[in-house]
Structure 1
Amino acid sequence: MKLKLGILDQSPVTKGEPATTGLTNSIRLALLAEETGFHSLMYSEHHGVEAYGSSSPELLATTVLSKTKRINVGTAGIMMRNYSAYKIAEWTKFLGALYPGRFILGLGKAPGGLKDAVMALNNHKPVILSNMETKLEEIIQYIKEEKGIYEGLIAQPSHLQAVPEIVWLGSGMTSAKEAAKHGVGYSFAAFMNSDSGSENTEAYLKEFDHTQYTSASSLQVAVAVSVADTLKEARYNAYGMAYQFLQSRQLINPEALHSSEIVERKIAGSEMEDEFFTILDRIIIETPQSISQRLQHVSEHYDTDDILILSNMHKEENRINTYKHIIKNNQ
């Protein structure tokens, strides 16, 4: 089965290089994705983090939409706690009007940064964390122009021919059930939590409410991947990405990508060593000859043909080659 392959691009920054290089690389990767046949591009949101160059996925998505003609482009995701439902709905409809059928609004509940960044984004006020599902409901009301909190208030532009796709990001059962309840797509972050993934995705598909935002379920699974000529090389290339995942799990702002050699020295004999290799083992490590079969297995395991690929490498050429090998072997 031919898969719908997408790219999850965090605009990774390499140690010693300016953050603008990560953004430039994102544009180049987008043009390659359009040319080679990827189905979608999704951009993440991070604040006050050295590791990633993009703090505004909606702006990066807009730029890429203007430079491409076919590929679907979206956010993975907008960190909802930092913005009003009304403003999110406004620019979502704006992009939906300019690029009908191509913009995807991916929404997440994570902060997108540590405490200081979140406080700064919220005008130095503590964030209320319990209203994320309510905010999703408000966004849907504004996009569909239904009666909401403010009677008669419309998010412009109005009367779109078709509502933009909404995807709810998550890695747990709660997010899966919320996506199903509101009839929106669900993007499961398997690279963060693959232990109970099939239970979450099964719940989404089983409980999806076809009478809500859209009538058809849309399940996507995001995985981290490294592909190289040998398994040893592919595994070694993934060290920088695994180290960033490790820092995130420890609630430390991830650093820019280190070389595999430096990561090896950092973790050797440290208290982080066992956890690092546990995380590394969750990354899909394959050769060009085996990657297609492995992704097919992921597809069958989660019962979806929509696979989102994350690949952060210290050397940009290794990241590009991973994506090239993936799409070439999915023809």
Structure 2
Amino acid sequence: MDDQVENNSKEKIMKLSILDQSPVILGKHPEEILKNSIELAQWAEHLNYESILFSEHHGVPGYASSSPEILAAVVLAKTQKIKVGTAGIMLRNYSAYKVAGTAKLLASIFPGRFVLGLGKAPGGLKMSSLALNSDKLPTVSTITEKLQDIVGYLSDDTSSTQERYGDLIAQPQHLHQKPEVWWLGSGKNSAKEAAKNGLSYSYSHFLIDERENENTNIYKNEFLPGAITKTPHLQIALSVSVAEDYKMALRNAYSMAYQFLEARRGLAPTPLIHPDEVEERISAPEDTIEFQKVLKNIIIATPDTIGQQLSEIAAFYKTNNLIILNNVYDKDYRFKNYEWIINSVQ
């Protein structure tokens, strides 16, 4: 099955996308951060990025956006050619019918440009899950059913929902072009779900401690052609920090790494803090050890080394499709990072 995958980075130009979590910077108003997300999307379009996808978080002070589909709609209206979407809409919080209707509407208004990224993470801590689900903790047991339903609604096929909802359709019908649908995850079950439902798979490399391709190989080998896509498409999600010299790139990564550390500890990530403050907070030996483990998940590079590192990762996973997360404290550095990154592979 490998030869069917979007995998030949030697023969194809690298496809680079941006994962934007709308990270809040300590001292900055969230409204300013959301404006930065719009500006980043316009910058990404200028740089010829493939797409920009927005994440969903609830009750988390460190991230400004809770509705990626709304932010995507705004950005689609303010750009011309770049693909824009969600990374992702968290299915445990919503009905398949609502998600599909929203996706069809955006795909109809912006044909060929809306990307529907879906995931099963809660997008927040327990209280936000309760608030989103009318005081009932959601389960992941219906995720596969929801995925099947979404594919059916997008394809105007009621066979998967006939027994429950009869001939109910999700409008607008008869899309000229279905949206891309990506399933987000890093585990074996996520790989199997994407493969079983014939969806593209975005693998969250930045969430794992070691580079391994067991789960991505499961996806490729078990992929079943579906109504959305006939061949497997694999994307690798990376966290990256680039600067003029390695020491500065490493230091810039501290703020992002500290948010990752908070998440690993089961805390809601707080706004990005200056690297100096990060150093103060991780002064204890046990904190330093844990922090260094998280830091290893971030690609640290200079403009003249980042291209090679990205190429090595693409070759390892046998794909030419990468999506980049860059949550550094300094906005100018963040925007410059994406320029350095895309210039390195052109």
TM-score bracket relative to the smaller structure? over 0.9
How does 1:1-331 map onto structure 2 within 5 Å? 1=10, 2-147=13-158, 148=161, 149-195=164-210, 197-331=212-346
Distance 2:136 2:246 in 1: 48
TM-score, structure 1 as length reference: 0.98
- Residues 107 and 166 in structure 1, CA contact (< 8 A), matched pair in contact too: yes
Q: Shift of the alpha carbon at 1:194? A: 4.9
- Residues 199 and 226 in structure 2, CA contact (< 8 A), matched pair in contact too: no
Q: Shift of the alpha carbon at 1:304? A: 0.6
- Residues 15 and 258 in structure 1, CA contact (< 8 A), matched pair in contact too: yes
Distance 1:193 1:104 in 2: 24
- Residues 240 and 257 in structure 1, CA contact (< 8 A), matched pair in contact too: yes
What SS does the corresponding residue of 1:308 show, helix, strand or coil?
strand
Distance 1:263 1:256 in 2: 12
Quote the residue 2:6 is aligned against.
none
Count of aligned positions: 331
Distance 2:323 2:113 in 1: 16
Superimposed CA distance per residue, residues 161-185 of structure 1 (whole angstroms, 9 cap, x where no aligned partner)? 1221110000111101110111100
Q: Shift of the alpha carbon at 1:4? A: 0.3
- Residues 248 and 254 in structure 1, CA contact (< 8 A), matched pair in contact too: yes
Distance 2:339 2:103 in 1: 30
Task: Note the residue ranges of structure 1 that are not aligned, 5 or more in a row.
Answer: none
Higher mean displacement: 266-275 or 215-224: 266-275
Distance 1:177 1:52 in 2: 29
- Residues 54 and 71 in structure 2, CA contact (< 8 A), matched pair in contact too: yes
Higher mean displacement: 227-236 or 318-327: 318-327
Q: Shift of the alpha carbon at 1:211? A: 4.2
What SS does the corresponding residue of 1:223 show, helix, strand or coil?
strand
Task: Note the residue ranges of structure 2 that are not aligned, 5 or more in a row.
Answer: 1-9
Higher mean displacement: 117-126 or 231-240: 117-126
- Residues 226 and 234 in structure 1, CA contact (< 8 A), matched pair in contact too: yes
- Residues 188 and 197 in structure 1, CA contact (< 8 A), matched pair in contact too: no
Q: Shift of the alpha carbon at 1:249? A: 0.7
Amino acid at match of 1:195: E
TM-score, structure 2 as length reference: 0.93
Paired-residue identity, %: 48
Distance 2:34 2:129 in 1: 22
Q: Shift of the alpha carbon at 1:126? A: 2.2
Q: Shift of the alpha carbon at 1:237? A: 0.2
What SS does the corresponding residue of 1:296 show, helix, strand or coil?
helix
What SS does the corresponding residue of 1:130 show, helix, strand or coil?
coil
What SS does the corresponding residue of 1:272 show, helix, strand or coil?
helix
Amino acid at match of 1:275: E
- Residues 180 and 228 in structure 2, CA contact (< 8 A), matched pair in contact too: no
- Residues 105 and 165 in structure 1, CA contact (< 8 A), matched pair in contact too: yes
Which runs of at least 4 in structure 1 moved beyond 4 Å after TM superposition?
Answer: none
Superimposed CA distance per residue, residues 35-74 of structure 1 (whole angstroms, 9 cap, x where no aligned partner)? 1110110100001111011010001111111111111111
What SS does the corresponding residue of 2:345 show, helix, strand or coil?
coil
- Residues 209 and 296 in structure 2, CA contact (< 8 A), matched pair in contact too: no
Amino acid at match of 1:287: T
What SS does the corresponding residue of 2:137 show, helix, strand or coil?
coil
What SS does the corresponding residue of 1:53 show, helix, strand or coil?
coil
Amino acid at match of 1:271: E
- Residues 205 and 211 in structure 2, CA contact (< 8 A), matched pair in contact too: no
Distance 1:76 1:64 in 2: 14
Higher mean displacement: 14-23 or 51-60: 14-23
